[in-house]
Structure 1
Amino acid sequence: MLGIVVSRADSASERVGTQLLDLADWQEHRDDSRPDADGGGTVYRLPDVEMRVFDELHIYLEGVEHAFDAHLDCLVFVSRHAGETGPLLTAHPTGNVGPAAYGGEDHRFARAAPGALKTVRESLGEYAPGGYDVGMECTHHGPTDLDTPALFVEVGSDEAQWADDEAARAVGRATLDLRDVDPTPERTLVGFGGGHYVPRFERVVRETDWAVGHVAADWGLDDLPEDPETYRSVLRRAAERSGATRALVDGDREFLREALTDLGVEVVSETWARETTGIPLALVERLETGVESVEEGLRFGTLAREGGDESHDVVSLPDDLLAEANGIDHERTLDAVLERSLAVVTDEGGTRLAGPVVVPREDDAAPTPRDRVVDALVAVLRSKYEAVERRADGVVARERAFDPALAREHGVSEGPAFGRLSAGEDVTVDGAVVTPADVHRERERRFAVGSSSDGRQTTAKDS
């Protein structure tokens, strides 16, 4: 059940409430067990939504979740946003990193709804009227005493926008989109650092399959007392109330990173969030433990995004063959191998295949998974060589190449004439025509295929 909180002390909230009533066929019920000011009186219901209206401003409400008759999966405060940001639709979790200047308690967090925040950010982007920006904010005000996953969805940032029916309707539509959304998905990060409007965390929410719970911005962290125990307890609460075991840190705060690690919260990067998108977390953990971390260069292939296999082999690649393919086209080489593998090890910031490669374990396969990867390297060679032959004992590549010695034998001096012959043009020397065919010689290169495994294996039981 989705709960919606409207405040009569907030004109924008009341306007969103009016638009919500217009968006669906609500049933009115009477609740005389509570004062009208505390969410009693007229209550509005859909089969999976309940909306109540309170006199108090949202941020000062206490025990608000207990006003609702049904068990709530998620609680949404429709509200105004105030600031110097122009027309803006925004959303954020609720809580206080530092002192409670605007409702709630010091250093306390309501339970975040990262899955709902991710969905509502997408919906706001779809429904926002022309001229409105859409964004997310850090965790920055009360209430804090909520065990129901909760968030604010807001119209900003001044009187003109608070009175805008189109903006209110966009917030109402986005809020109703939260029906049947899991508010607390497994793939959730807790955020630390950065500014109030959290652009890095918003990118992760928009562009990966990771959600973000509480975000303690720089100004909130700076307001914490120097007491190490309080500092650590705030970090721990932010992670726990986000439902996160991994943290994304914006900026250089080494003490923060160390403290999170000590608390058992793994610190990851935006690159990590992007690279693990669509990859089963069990596979991520197994390969980061058994092969290499994403930060060190592990990159996941197509087969991992298709679900992968429960058992895998880590295979080495022929050094000379890999070097030649990378020299021809390192981007094509990496893409071709990623299509045929679960994961690969890269260097140069994840842009070049370095090996080894993780492939499904197929004991009776012909060709083997490693053979298919080697075939991908062979295909890259064919873009350069005139003939490439895959043999049992290796790969043979042939091409006709310009031979400076032959050119000299035909009386061609080094210089521009060499360049024209190499480029396929005829040249004239002492009245005689020298053609490219006269000065090209067939060259053959052999590449050993080598052993199929580097001795490492991973299974679903590895950790």
Structure 2
Amino acid sequence: MLGIVVSRADRASEHVGDHLRDLSDWSAVECPDHPDAAGPAYRTDGAQLREFDAWHLHLADAADAFPADLDLLVFASRHSGETGPLLTAHHTGNFGPAEHGGEDDALARACPHAHSRVLDALAAHAPEDYEVGMECTHHGPTDVGVPSMFVEVGSGESEWGDPAAAEAVARAILDLRGVAPDADPEPETNGADGAIARRHLVGFGGGHYAPRFTRIVEETDWGVGHLAADWGLDAMGDPAANRDLVDAAFEESAATHAVVEGDRPNLEAVIEGLGHRVVGETWVREVTGVPIALAGRLEDAVTAVDDGLRFGEPATDADPDAEFETVALPAELLDRAQGIDQERTRELVAARALAFETEENGNRVAGRAAVTSRGDFAMTVDGIVDLLRTAYDSVERREDAVIAREETFDPEKAKTLGVPEGPKFGRLSAGEPVEVNGRTIPPDRVRSEREDRFSL
């Protein structure tokens, strides 16, 4: 069940609340007493709504004011800043002193999956002149009772009273009915140790509006829980002296992975020491769609994503326990094929391999690959052989090698026939006859067969 908090102290929140009531049929229901609640609770299909006199930031145990068990609580709120028309969502808590509600060094339970979904919904419903984004964790409340987040209209008086913006936020909130706060769990490692992971990240570093983490949410299947921007890390202080708070960021985000922006070796050491993993944005993008446990096994068997591992199409939604073997890709054959068409060569390898090594920022295939069978390896080579046929007159595949032949212009034959170097060489090379001392030299007279052999 989705719970929605509207604050009478917040004009924008009341405005969103009006649109929420207009967009669905609500009925009053009995509700528990709560010191900050104002009036009855209202219920519609999949959601409950209640108003409070207090500012959202200072509410405590808001979930206790609702009559039924809640899975997710959303605070409809305003955003204030110098950011122009903006619809935004973020989690709550304090990485340091509680200057705006909640407790010092405390974090509310985040809802990374629902947060990703509401950003999608805001983008779908936003008026044309509004941006959509996310913010770092930066204010209370810290005691809510269920996973929660703020969904906001910003950034000034004109936007707080804008009916189109209020309706967009109301629609996005109602779209969360039936949405789980967390992504589904999956095995984190291969084997029977029972370790699981969700596609949730904790973010450390960067600016308040978190462009890197916004990209991750928009462009990958990973959600972001708590996010300590640069200023939040400054407020927290020495990571080694605040290990409990760093660990709480993971626990309250249901996360085991973090992305750290900037050079922060002390923080990374604390994260790793707590048993969590620091990954880069490239890793997050490459592992999108690939089972986490399988990705880890492939990194162990071939190389790390940071060192050039890339995943092929078969890895997407594969069994985490899929069997595979590592094979050496034929280096000379790869080099020649990539000289003909680098992009197509990469596509051929990615179509059959679970994973493969690359260089040049992932653009050029090189080294080894992991395949589920020798048949997949053979079909990859077959595809590369077909690519070679576009550049050679004939290509023969043998058990231990690929033999490619082509007829090419032979400068020595041309010289023997008296053809001077220069433009006539070029015309003969292009397949045109030339005149030399009153004789016509056809191009086939100055061609020789060249054979290239590529070991398998």
Q: TM-score range by the shorter chain?
A: over 0.9
User: TM-score scaled to structure 1, two decimals?
Assistant: 0.92
The one-character-per-residue Cα deviations of 1:218-244 (angstroms, maximum 9, x if unpaired) are 0111122347322x3322111221111
Letter in 1 for 2:414: A
Identify the residue that residue 411 of structure 1 maps to in structure 2: 418
In structure 2, distance between residues paired with 1:253 and 1:306:
33
Identify the residue that residue 63 of structure 2 maps to in structure 1: 65
TM-aligned CA deviation for residue 182 of structure 1: 1.9
The one-character-per-residue Cα deviations of 1:368-391 (angstroms, maximum 9, x if unpaired) are 222111112212211211111223
Identify the residue that residue 187 of structure 1 maps to in structure 2: 199
In structure 1, distance between residues paired with 2:40 and 2:289:
44
1:243 corresponds to 2:262: no
Q: Assess, with a 3 A threshold, how the Cα gap between structure 1 residues 227 and 176 changes in structure 2: closer, same or farther.
A: closer
Q: Assess, with a 3 A threshold, how the Cα gap between structure 1 residues 403 and 306 changes in structure 2: closer, same or farther.
A: farther
In structure 2, distance between residues paired with 1:141 and 1:184:
21
TM-aligned CA deviation for residue 30 of structure 1: 4.1
The one-character-per-residue Cα deviations of 1:248-267 (angstroms, maximum 9, x if unpaired) are 11222222222222222211
Preserved CA contact (<8 Å) 2:409 2:429:
yes
Identify the residue that residue 450 of structure 2 maps to in structure 1: 443
Preserved CA contact (<8 Å) 1:30 1:41:
no
Preserved CA contact (<8 Å) 2:302 2:369:
no
TM-aligned CA deviation for residue 122 of structure 1: 0.5
TM-aligned CA deviation for residue 393 of structure 1: 3.7
Letter in 2 for 1:301: G
Identify the residue that residue 172 of structure 1 maps to in structure 2: 170
Superposition map of 1:145-294 within 5 A: 145-185=143-183, 186-226=198-238, 228-230=240-242, 232-294=243-305
Q: Give the aligned length.
A: 441
Superposition map of 1:356-375 within 5 A: 356-361=368-373, 368-375=375-382
In structure 2, distance between residues paired with 1:43 and 1:171:
20
Letter in 2 for 1:374: V
The one-character-per-residue Cα deviations of 1:327-359 (angstroms, maximum 9, x if unpaired) are 222221111110111111111111111131111
In structure 1, distance between residues paired with 2:270 and 2:426:
62
TM-aligned CA deviation for residue 40 of structure 1: 5.4
TM-aligned CA deviation for residue 410 of structure 1: 1.4
Preserved CA contact (<8 Å) 2:62 2:145:
no
In structure 2, distance between residues paired with 1:227 and 1:150:
25
Identify the residue that residue 104 of structure 1 maps to in structure 2: 102
Preserved CA contact (<8 Å) 1:30 1:40:
no
1:396 corresponds to 2:403: yes
> Secondary structure in 1 aligned to 2:275?
coil
In structure 2, distance between residues paired with 1:184 and 1:151:
12
In structure 1, distance between residues paired with 2:38 and 2:9:
16
1:423 corresponds to 2:430: yes
In structure 1, distance between residues paired with 2:33 and 2:135:
33
In structure 1, distance between residues paired with 2:276 and 2:287:
17
> Secondary structure in 1 aligned to 2:76?
strand
Identify the residue that residue 130 of structure 2 maps to in structure 1: 132
TM-aligned CA deviation for residue 51 of structure 1: 0.8
TM-aligned CA deviation for residue 320 of structure 1: 2.1
Superposition map of 1:63-102 within 5 A: 63-102=61-100
> Secondary structure in 2 aligned to 1:295?
helix
> Secondary structure in 1 aligned to 2:259?
strand
Letter in 2 for 1:108: A
TM-aligned CA deviation for residue 34 of structure 1: 1.8
Letter in 2 for 1:260: I
Preserved CA contact (<8 Å) 2:102 2:139:
yes
Preserved CA contact (<8 Å) 1:421 1:436:
yes
Identify the residue that residue 16 of structure 1 maps to in structure 2: 16
Preserved CA contact (<8 Å) 2:291 2:318:
yes
In structure 2, distance between residues paired with 1:414 and 1:222:
71
In structure 1, the gaps of 5 or more residues are 363-367, 450-463
TM-aligned CA deviation for residue 212 of structure 1: 0.7
Identify the residue that residue 2 of structure 2 maps to in structure 1: 2
Letter in 2 for 1:28: A
In structure 2, distance between residues paired with 1:227 and 1:436:
74
Letter in 2 for 1:339: A
TM-aligned CA deviation for residue 397 of structure 1: 1.1
In structure 2, the gaps of 5 or more residues are 184-197
In structure 1, distance between residues paired with 2:29 and 2:210:
40
Identify the residue that residue 461 of structure 1 maps to in structure 2: none
User: TM-score scaled to structure 2, two decimals?
Assistant: 0.93
Preserved CA contact (<8 Å) 1:321 1:447:
yes
Preserved CA contact (<8 Å) 1:34 1:41:
no
In structure 1, distance between residues paired with 2:239 and 2:207:
23
> Secondary structure in 2 aligned to 1:223?
helix
Letter in 1 for 2:49: M
